[in-house]
Structure 1
């Protein structure tokens, strides 16, 4: 990736990031973890702004021009840029500073979600994996190069939002209004897990997710199950049967519009040799689409899930027939699924199968697009070659992540190729108690990103 004359500088920059990892990374991460930046609770709105103020102070030291603004949902967003030369290419970097509510009582004894705790190779704290450590790694890689040679050799624009954990509701509108300010040649960002903790992963898109509620409201209150059993319809039974009609007993989707058209032979070939996520739970091989491999189910197909279901009082069941029942459900979907047809198709399915009593309530205004692009794109090939040169191993290459990210905002609004390089692993407990990252993975990621940004600078930020 780098000619022999410049290899010494690249090696020295990586040596600087090695030193940073040993001496300062944990302290910097601890200060970010200490900010209770929960986007799900309006009471912590001030903490969202405080987090962005901390990132502002960090990038100000390296010549970035910054502004903190509000999106349509009033969540603050940080924009920063370092424009070295209008003739250079521009890399857009993204991260999110908000975290999920931690459910503090469920964390293991001795762990505090907002205090970084180091136990062996594990760094515990809310936001370590998702997403504070990940964008801290990318920023520090930039800083190592600036400390080494005083310039990057390309332009950088930075976006740190604070509402990703609630679906980034104002991000797309903000991008549409500020598309010129965010113009770039490529997005390089980090979120999600590697497929294997010891092997880098590169992915270029993501499944999208649409949450919705199914409700059955039959009466205002519950009635005695002895006096009225057999006389009053049970909303929980109606709801359970409605849900079971959506898939068969092994979770295979029965709604034709929810079955994607994009699992082509070429796509199957491109993911056939990928490993399943390791370090996570054991896979149920008899679940999901029977004719697909587990890899195809995760990255090339749609999945339906019931996130929660409620009727009566689960904490103290009464001998009564409830008046209502509700389930929160989700469809994770890939390219080849029309997002505008997801809920209308479900409504038709419910009506056709006799479930007109089931109300369907969307949880967001618009369904977003799933995204992916080809692994032979020049930016993908360049990133893979750079990481291979630094790490000594070829990354796992995914056309799209199985999880969901606001990637469509970059591909559909800003028209960018998108390269995601995750710095976590499947067992990180993202969104769950005891969230953590692995120190060896962090060190590896710091080195890979420093090498990558160095290589981009050697090309003036222009790959094509």
Structure 2
């Protein structure tokens, strides 16, 4: 259990405004990874913000080039206390998304602004606020004890928002540098704002493009209707044979082989969309054999992201020459992600749609640490005691993260302790962190690191 004095110091660090002031400095760096000017800000963020923070923890800090020219550098801080003690690997990403819309009046993405419990600014939730909590927890523990009680490695990447180019290759090349007993990291949301959460992995995602390109131009529907195949009609029917009108996947090759009993047990009783501003889950949508939590965290979904033919806003009386749709498969561990394009192509051909061209592009791969791993049991019991109520354990969260780099490439168990919530508006205007979640999150992270230092 975390000492009462250390808990009080963690709470006071948020209540005093000290955490807010530090976060304001982090938010002020426009570290957008898909813009040239963002690369300059990223370098400054690594050199002027993260390096001093890691050095203050007694870390030796090194910047490494990315083996993939599409990605930015990696920053690694290392503190070795004793080869007899456990080694913790932490992770965060320095980059943020660019601006794709207008923020509300009085808000600026690069200026941290408080409005009640909400702290607005780009990166507050994803990921600067989250990795600042963990860095602060480590700093509080070191100041309290004079040591951590474990060895520390902290990895920062600079391209998570563009798919983490080069991260897997870097980890493979630097296995000795990054070797650790367990990963503890923070990204993504809690189950909801009021519920402390630990998740063990992430769903993967594959984008599937469907193109029906039948002829160079459009043809008058009165002169040619009924004798020329309509690409839009064809595409709509093709999509319906992949995922029906109730959101149920129709292609066996796009489904996981099973819902493991350990995953089902972990999700038993988990309630999704439990916050006042959350949308209400639609009845009759998705696999009826599964609970909403099982559909979101334990199963695959196939969503239509975009669909188009002709001019939707100014239609003309003509059969379009082409139609296009982009779908996304969110999938859990055990799915044959490499076979997605072949599975879709074969299924469409078998249902009379060989004219639909299929291409697939994967992003983060699905992965999860086993629910019954001893590190999971330890973390859950530790956090339950500190929170004073059961912490929700999710086998994985619904979105994507490079968790597979740690589980599959580096071969370690992964524990994600998120300090955000589903309504944080990450990747959108008005991104924010909740002060109440930051306060509780700092206590939880400090307690977990304290318990690790006591672990024998």
Give the structure-2-normalised TM-score: 0.93
Paired residue for 1:66?
61
Paired residue for 1:205?
201
Paired residue for 2:374?
378
1:228 CA drift (Å) = 4.6
Deviations 1:24-72 (A, max 9, x none): 1111112212222222334522223232222122222222111222321
- Helix, strand or coil for the counterpart of 1:307? strand
Of residues 13, 16, 28, the one that matches 1:20 is: 13
**How many angstroms apart in 2 are the aligned matches of 1:381 and 1:418?**
12
Paired residue for 1:49?
43
- Helix, strand or coil for the counterpart of 2:368? coil
1:251 CA drift (Å) = 1.0
Of residues 66, 72, 76, the one that matches 2:73 is: 76
**How many angstroms apart in 2 are the aligned matches of 1:127 and 1:18?**
22
Q: In the TM superposition, what are the counterparts of 1:35-184 in structure 2 within 5 Å?
A: 35-53=29-47, 54-71=49-66, 72=68, 73-105=70-102, 107-184=103-180
Deviations 1:202-246 (A, max 9, x none): 111121111121112223344455555445433222222211110
1:216 maps to 2:212 = yes
**How many angstroms apart in 2 are the aligned matches of 1:301 and 1:354?**
28
Q: In the TM superposition, what are the counterparts of 1:344-363 in structure 2 within 5 Å?
A: 344-363=342-361
Q: Is the 8 A contact 1:199 1:393 kept in 2?
A: no
The range that moved more, 26-35 or 309-318, is 309-318
Supply the RMSD in Å over aligned alpha carbons.
Answer: 2.0
Paired residue for 1:440?
436
Of residues 241, 245, 254, the one that matches 1:258 is: 254
**How many angstroms apart in 2 are the aligned matches of 1:112 and 1:231?**
55
Paired residue for 1:289?
287
Q: Is the 8 A contact 2:241 2:250 kept in 1?
A: yes
Change (3 A) 1:438 1:329: same
Of residues 383, 388, 393, the one that matches 1:387 is: 383
Q: Is the 8 A contact 1:104 1:113 kept in 2?
A: no
**How many angstroms apart in 2 are the aligned matches of 1:100 and 1:316?**
32
The range that moved more, 57-66 or 414-423, is 57-66
Change (3 A) 1:449 1:257: same
Change (3 A) 1:217 1:399: same
Paired residue for 1:303?
301
**How many angstroms apart in 1 are the aligned matches of 2:51 and 2:221?**
60
- Helix, strand or coil for the counterpart of 2:323? strand
1:327 CA drift (Å) = 1.7
Change (3 A) 1:410 1:357: same
Gaps in structure 1 of 5+ consecutive residues:
2-6
1:410 CA drift (Å) = 0.4
Of residues 19, 25, 32, the one that matches 1:31 is: 25
1:314 CA drift (Å) = 4.2
Name the count of aligned residue pairs: 450
The range that moved more, 225-234 or 145-154, is 225-234
**How many angstroms apart in 1 are the aligned matches of 2:311 and 2:51?**
47
Change (3 A) 1:315 1:125: farther
Deviations 1:359-407 (A, max 9, x none): 112224xx65422233332211221222223221220111121222111
Give the structure-1-normalised TM-score: 0.91
Paired residue for 2:232?
236
**How many angstroms apart in 1 are the aligned matches of 2:345 and 2:127?**
36
- Helix, strand or coil for the counterpart of 2:206? strand
**How many angstroms apart in 1 are the aligned matches of 2:281 and 2:164?**
30
**How many angstroms apart in 1 are the aligned matches of 2:365 and 2:17?**
42
Q: Is the 8 A contact 2:369 2:407 kept in 1?
A: no
1:164 CA drift (Å) = 1.4
